Amino acid sequence: MSAAKHDAAQQIEELRAELRHHEHLYYVLDTPEIPDAAYDARMNDLKRLEAEHPELLTPDSPTQRVGGKPAEGFQKAAHSRPMLSLDNAYNEGELRDWDRRVRTRLLGPGSAAVAYEIDESKEDDDEESDRALNAEVSARAEQVHVEYTAELKLDGLSVALRYEPVEDGGSRLALGLTRGDGQIGEDVTTNIRTIRSVPLAISATAIEKAGLPRSFEVRGEVVMPLKGFELLNKEREEQGLSPAVNPRNAAAGTLRTLEPSIVSNRRLVFFAYFLLVEGEYFAVGQSATLDALTALGFRVNPHRERVESVDEMLRFIEKAESQRASLGYEIDGVVLKVDSHAAQQRLGYTGRAPRWAIAYKFAAQTAETAIESITWQVGRTGKVTPVGEVAPVFVGGTTVSRVTLHNWDFIERLGGLRPSDIVEIERGGDVIPKVVRVVKQSENAPIALIAACPECGSQLERTEGEVDWRCVNSDCPAKLRETLLHFGARGVMNIEGLGEAVVAQLLDRGLVHHVADLYALTEEQLVGLERFAEKSAKALLAEIEGSKSAGLARVLMGLGIRFVGERTAQLLAEEFGSVEALMAATVEELERVEEVGPRISESIRAFFARPANVQLVESLKAAGVDMTAEKKQRSTELAGKTFVLTGTLPTLSREEAKQKIEAAGGKVSAAVSKKTSYVVAGEEAGSKLDKARQLGIQELNEAELLALLAGTTPV
């Protein structure tokens, strides 16, 4: 190796180690030490170095989280041991029964066979002796000392992650499987790789310290945090799609998406709870397992305790219920596991579930309350949404006083709503609860649909075939308020501090008439606002200034073009590279963009056909807002090149490799000929490789293939 290359290799390894360390702090421990921008800068350094030295690229580099797409559908693979489910307990009595069964079985052979249920119809002497025996067994069972681990029951989906050895002595994530039917799961490795709390590689040192062989498996739960869930639904709504019903479904849907960049944006979280080697539990017990997983760098849910009695379990359950509303992700109960693996082995399994664990399920989060009134909220697009104001009621860990009513059709389907109607409400994964049904109708007159916008008084309109009523007045103050809030929101222009109170004041004082006016605000103007001192004014101005470089995709989202959510905005920005090019694009050109069909292209054309919107773009540009993006072009370098795949690649499946090559413009062929440009060889490559060597065709390993592809995508 040349000295220069040696330096680069060392620098790359150092950067990777540093990035992994910060990813661990941020995504696993939730205690970041450096600002996001510093992380991004190091990531960019690494990307640059890897581009300069493609031969040094490895699939477990932090730059490689979002890789190729799984082709059509997912491959299936068998689990190392079945992924079972859990038996449930719904109340204290059922929990006590389970604990007693566990203790009795642990007493030794025969004990469990004793009848607990005494047959009351039997009136002979047997009854007496049964009772005596039972009493004796119970008394002895009570003396058995059992330790349990109490964990939260995360409302997500379970996955199995397999790690396999790599040359440097560590291990690398090789396979991620969904539960599937418990025996066979789906290979969702490419999507799992995008989850930041899943380590892509584990160092040799960490593995040695844990005393773990280098092939092992980690099981746990993938969940979608509530914040991500809300963002997802907001975006789905903007795209005219129906909202996901709860975070679990959304997480499951996301993991099965055939687009890793989407998975990557949704910020799923993985919590680990089992560690297996060759299908057997590693470590002496559940607590030790969780400690080992933490030491290996996995995210382990911090809410766990060792408990030794049902009373302690109940205390843990109570605590979990009180924490439930502030966790930031959904849980639907508590899981109790006998801690010792030796004891687990003695307890064994029923057909579908272990005897050594049980899920204590929280009671359904429903409640009854009285409707007080309906208020109407005007959104950014003028859509008017009814919201039910209800008598405050405690449900699912929080006090609820507002419920969603979706739209007027929904109210009609409930049979109308009257003040003082008693309704059943349900708090699922969604943060705002929904009305399930009217339990008792009151004598009052039904609440009517409003005819005029509650904020500006103009007549509401409804387009044929749509359910929503809208305020079409473009000067409606509510629309401007919502537009400003959306523009500054997280994930859009990211203007921290531009919240409801500030926006309301800016509008009241006539300081802002459209989003571009934000860029003309001065410190004097802001200092005049309520609860605004020089420091907060300066901070807000700095945020506004910073948003100028958010880039075209963010601006497009911020403009609020109907149906243009995060992903579409991103694709449009990459395709057109500037707002001018986008504005000049014809319907055909727009529809050449992936995922853009007639509905979206129409909406974009209609948006830029309005002079007020063109004016807005001009003002933003004049204010210095960057409306350009790096254009993504498929390099033509690989066009016409033919690849032959042979043998097993370390991380990519055949299908994934093929997909990646084709995405870069190359072709994959089954047989080697003089026309073959490259042969990609993995382990146990066969006669194809021999033939390629005879013909002098260039050989690539997986890392070299990835490097070749990486060098060809962004321009």
Among 27, 273, 607, 643, binds ligand IVH (CB under 6 A): 273
Q: Which two tokens stand for residue 121?
A: 């119809």
Out of 61, 80, 149, 158, the residue judged to bind ligand IVH by CB under 6 A: 158
For ligand IVH, the closer of residues 95 and 557 by Cβ is 95
Q: Which residues pair with 316 in a beta bridge?
A: none
| 370 contributes a contact to ligand IVH by CB under 6 A | no
Can you tell me the distance from the alpha carbon of 130 to that of 145, in angstroms, rounded to the nearest whole number?
Answer: 25
Residue 289 Cβ vs ligand IVH, minimum distance, rounded to whole Å: 11
What does the block give as tokens for 612?
């007020």
Q: Annotated catalytic residue: which of 5, 69, 153, 641?
A: 153
Contact indicator for 158, 168 with CB cutoff of 8 Å: no
Q: Which of 23, 151, 186, 455 binds ligand IVH (CB under 6 A)?
A: 151
Q: What is the DSSP string of 452-518?
A: B-TTT-PBEE--TT---EEE--TT-HHHHHHHHHHHHSTTTT--TT--HHHHHHHHHTT--SSGGGG
**Is residue 183 part of the contact set for ligand IVH (CB under 6 A)?**
no
Q: Does 172 bind ligand IVH (CB under 6 A)?
A: no
Residues in contact with ligand IVH, shown as a per-residue x/- string from 326 to 345 under the rule CB under 6 A:
---------x----------
Span from 66-74, 195-203, 354-362, 559-567 in contact with ligand IVH (CB under 6 A): 354-362
Which residue carries 């699912």 as its tokens? 396
Task: Give me the least distance between CB of 27 and ligand IVH, in Å please.
Answer: 19
Q: What is the DSSP string of 554-623?
A: HHHHHHT-TT--HHHHHHHHHHH-BHHHHHH--HHHHHTSTT--HHHHHHHHHHHHSHHHHHHHHHHHHT
Least distance (Å) between residue 348 CB and ligand IVH: 12
For ligand IVH, how many residues bind (rule: CB under 6 A)? 13
How many other C-beta atoms are found inside a 10 Å radius of the C-beta of residue 540? 22
| 79 binds ligand IVH, rule: CB under 6 A | no
180 counts as binding ligand IVH under rule CB under 6 A? no
**Shortest approach of ligand IVH to residue 473 CB, angstroms?**
49
Q: How far is CA 265 from the centre of its chain?
A: 8
* Dist. CA 176–CA 101, nearest whole Å: 35
Instruction: Please enumerate in sequence order all residues whose Cβ is within 8 A of that of 135, keeping only pairs 6 or more positions apart, or say none.
Output: none
Retrieve residue 138's tokens: 């119970």
CB nearer ligand IVH, residue 194 or residue 289 = 289
Cβ-based nearer residue to ligand IVH, 359 or 449: 359
Measured from the CB atom, the residue of 331 and 529 that comes closer to ligand IVH is: 331
- Whether 153 is catalytic: yes
Go through 216-238 and write b for each residue having 16 or more CB atoms within 10 A of its CB, e for each that does not.
bbbbbbbbbbbebbebbbbbeeb
Under 8 Å between Cβ of 197 and 221: no
CA 448 to chain CA centroid, nearest Å: 39
Binding mask 208-227 for ligand IVH (x = CB under 6 A): -------------x------
**DSSP H/E element including 292:** helix 286-296
Give burial (CB, 10 Å; 0-12/13-18/19+) of 296. buried
Q: Is 186 in the site for ligand IVH (CB under 6 A)?
A: no
Please report how close the Cβ of residue 104 comes to ligand IVH at its closest, in angstroms. 21
Please identify, using beta-carbon distances, which residue of 332 and 482 lies nearer to ligand IVH. Answer: 332
| Least distance (Å) between residue 16 CB and ligand IVH | 31
Q: Which of 86, 106, 371, 512 binds ligand IVH (CB under 6 A)?
A: 86
> CB-wise, 180 or 454, nearer to ligand IVH?
180
Contact 256, 283 (CB under 8 A): no
Kindly tell me which of 223 and 503 has the beta carbon lying closer to ligand IVH. 223
In the complex, minimum distance from the CB of residue 152 to ligand IVH, in angstroms, rounded to a whole number: 6
Alpha carbons 195 and 271: distance in angstroms, whole number? 11
State in angstroms the smallest separation of the CB of 354 from ligand IVH: 5
Q: 110-149 mask for ligand IVH (x: CB under 6 A)?
A: ----------------------------------------
Site for ligand IVH in 653-692 (CB under 6 A): none
Contact track, ligand IVH, 409-448, x by CB under 6 A: ----------------------------------------
For ligand IVH, which is the closer residue by CB, 153 or 660? 153
359 binds ligand IVH, rule: CB under 6 A: yes
Distance CA 405, CA 433 (A): 9
Please name the amino acid found at residue 150.
A
Q: Which residues contact 120 (CB under 8 A, 6 or more apart)?
A: none
CB 182 → ligand IVH: shortest distance, Å?
9
Closest to ligand IVH by CB, 160 or 590: 160
Tell me how far apart the alpha carbons of residues 148 and 257 are, in angstroms, rounded to a whole number.
Answer: 37
Give the residue closest to ligand IVH by C-beta.
158
Verify binding: residue 159, ligand IVH, rule CB under 6 A.
no
Closest distance to ligand IVH from the beta carbon of 259 (Å): 24
Which lies closer to ligand IVH via its Cβ, residue 216 or residue 273? 273
- Judged by CB under 6 A, the chain residues 511 through 540 that form the site for ligand IVH are none
Residue 231 makes contact with ligand IVH by CB under 6 A: no
- Rounded to a whole number of angstroms, the minimum distance from the CB of residue 97 to ligand IVH is 18
DSSP string, 380-429: TTSEEEEEEEEEEEEETTEEEEEEE--SHHHHHHTT---TT-EEEEE--S
Q: Give me the least distance between CB of 307 and ligand IVH, in Å please.
A: 14
Residue 102 or 154 with smaller CB distance to ligand IVH? 154
For 27, 195, 223, 260, the CA distances from 266, given in Å and listed in that order, are: 14, 9, 11, 10
* Residue 98 lies near ligand IVH (rule: CB under 6 A): no
Q: What does the block give as tokens for 184?
A: 């066979």
Among 354, 446, 477, 647, binds ligand IVH (CB under 6 A): 354
Q: Which of 20, 79, 103, 153 binds ligand IVH (CB under 6 A)?
A: 153
Judged by CB under 6 A, does residue 703 bind ligand IVH? no
Q: Determine contact, residues 515/484, Cβ cutoff 8 Å.
A: yes
Round to whole Å and give the CA distance between 44 and 62.
11
Our finding on whether 323 is near ligand IVH (CB under 6 A) is: no
Q: Which is nearer to ligand IVH, 281 or 608 (CB)?
A: 281
Q: Is 307 an interacting residue with respect to ligand IVH (CB under 6 A)?
A: no
Task: List for the chain the helix, strand, coil content (%; round to 5).
Answer: 40, 20, 40
- DSSP state letter for 25: I
Rounded CA separation 386/376 (Å): 5
SS3 state of residue 178: strand
Nearer residue to ligand IVH within complex by CB, 163 or 273 = 273
* 154 is a contact residue toward ligand IVH (CB under 6 A): yes
**Active centre residues (catalytic):** 153
Question: Could you list the residues that contact ligand IVH (CB under 6 A)?
Answer: 84-86, 151, 153-154, 158, 221, 273, 335, 354, 357, 359
